[in-house]
Structure 1
Amino acid sequence: MARGNHSYQTCPVCSLSRRAGDMMDGGLVRPPIVELIRQKSPQWSPADSICLSCVNRFRADYVEDILEKDKGELSKLEEEVVTSLRDQEDILAENINPEFDRQLTFGERMADKIAEFGGSWSFILSFGLVLLLWIALNSFLMARHPFDPYPYILLNLVLSCLAALQAPIIMMSQNRQEARDRLRAEHDYRVNLKAELEIRLLHGKIDQLLTNQWQRLLEIQKIQMEMMARPHGPAPRALPKPAEGNQAT
């Protein structure tokens, strides 16, 4: 059919009349696009022509399907990671201090309190004040009848007894602190080991996902290059195959 100086053809896909320059031979369409066209228009075959508008539309649909499939695979990857975490042990990261404190006896708690007070400025200031009062009482206020005259032998005895009792109490507290640190180190090791295994699992799944995406990205790039190669002008048509008689001659 001709209109003016242009010849027109009917596209078998959209059933619209197109100029001959806007038609494309089905043999030039990429196989993935052909499959998509056949799914939506079963009456069309690669031997037929198709308009450029339909080809571009199916190209866009194909790219959109690939992107949607990639998005679905990403969601599936996230679901697999969550499932793997759920199927394994519970979360290892936790605060071990409350459980450790519940196992302490009354004597151990008292030793920790005494060691904590003995290593504070409150103890230093209060003990210094007691020493000053002791010396003042026996040297000035009760100079005639001191209960511990100079050189304060009773004070030395009290200080020696205090040091003898304070040293093992502090050592008991340090031993428990060392046990707490050892338990925390073992717990941190388990947490770090689990995190390392999960990171390795994620790396493997991401590598697999990227490998599957490479082929699709290359396919999208080829389609884009085809769309950019002929922005205007008539579409090329496949060359007819020579007849057997002509080949013989």
Structure 2
Amino acid sequence: MNTSHPLQQLAQNLLGKSLHELEPEETHVLEQIRQRRPISRDAADASDEESTFGERLSDTVAAVGGSWTFIICFSLTMLGWMLLNTDVLSHFGLAFDPYPYIFLNLMLSTLAAIQAPIIMMSQNRQAAKDRLAARLDFEVNLRAELEIMRLHEKIDQKILQRLDQILERLPERRSEP
């Protein structure tokens, strides 16, 4: 087995795998270890770097449409529409959408038909963000675990060196009267 490639050596020493057996996340972690660079990244920032205008728009629509402010304003608008068409304008014979508010129902149906897929797009994007966050967490956890293993190995080597030094001195002390 050729272990001349630095990543191959790290893969074999730390994970007990050859380079071609590694998952992409494992390769990324080993490359960062080799380059002595930090691996942690903010999932929200990483996701925002890759997002399109439409994805950001769907997030905004979902955030606004799922707020109490929207619900209260929308309820007040509907109440105002109904009062305007039932009491105020009908008094003058100018009601453009009298009871049973057919035009209002059409507008609500249209709003629901447009808003539902946009909210679903935002939910899909949130799921993608969650998967990215999980992948980044896995990379950080793997890096931490591998670094701990490397530290254990260094400490074990130091302990063995110290034991060798102690054992070298022991026969000298035993031979002294």
**TM-score between both structures, scaled by the size of structure 1:** 0.49
Matched, 1:178 2:124: no
Q: What's the offset of the Cα at 1:112?
A: 1.4
Query: Structure 1 residues 194, 212: CA separation in 2 closer, same or farther (over 3 Å shift)?
Result: same
Query: Structure 1 residues 86, 113: CA separation in 2 closer, same or farther (over 3 Å shift)?
Result: closer
Which amino acid counterpart does residue 54 of structure 2 have in structure 1?
G
Alignment equivalent of 1:209, drawn from 158, 161, 169: 158
Which amino acid counterpart does residue 196 of structure 1 have in structure 2?
E
Which amino acid counterpart does residue 204 of structure 1 have in structure 2?
E
Q: Percent identity?
A: 51
- The equivalent residue for 2:56 is 109
Q: What's the offset of the Cα at 1:180?
A: 1.5
Larger RCO of the pair (alpha carbons < 8 Å, separation 6+): 2
Q: What's the offset of the Cα at 1:143?
A: 2.4
Query: Structure 1 residues 206, 158: CA separation in 2 closer, same or farther (over 3 Å shift)?
Result: same
Alignment equivalent of 1:199, drawn from 115, 137, 148: 148
- Report the secondary structure of 1:143's partner residue: helix
Alignment equivalent of 2:44, drawn from 97, 101, 123: 97
- Report the secondary structure of 2:123's partner residue: helix
- The equivalent residue for 1:137 is 84
Which amino acid counterpart does residue 111 of structure 2 have in structure 1?
L
Counterpart Cα distance in 2 of 1:135 and 1:86: 65
- The equivalent residue for 1:155 is 104
**Pairing of 1:29-40 with structure 2 (within 5 A):** none
Q: What's the offset of the Cα at 1:155?
A: 1.2
- The equivalent residue for 1:40 is none
Task: Give the helix-richer structure, 1 or 2.
Answer: 2
**Structure 1 runs not aligned, ≥5 long:** 1-84, 224-237, 239-249
**Structure 2 runs not aligned, ≥5 long:** 1-31
Alpha-carbon RMSD across the aligned residues, in angstroms, is 2.5
Q: What's the offset of the Cα at 1:113?
A: 0.9
Give the number of aligned pairs.
137
Counterpart Cα distance in 2 of 1:209 and 1:138: 86
Shifted more, 88-97 versus 152-161: the winner is 88-97
**TM-score between both structures, scaled by the size of structure 2:** 0.67
Which amino acid counterpart does residue 137 of structure 1 have in structure 2?
L
- Bigger radius of gyration, 1 or 2? 1
Q: How big is each residue's C-alpha offset from its partner over 1:97-145, in whole Å with a ceiling of 9 and x where there is no partner?
A: 3342133222222221111100111101110110110111112112232
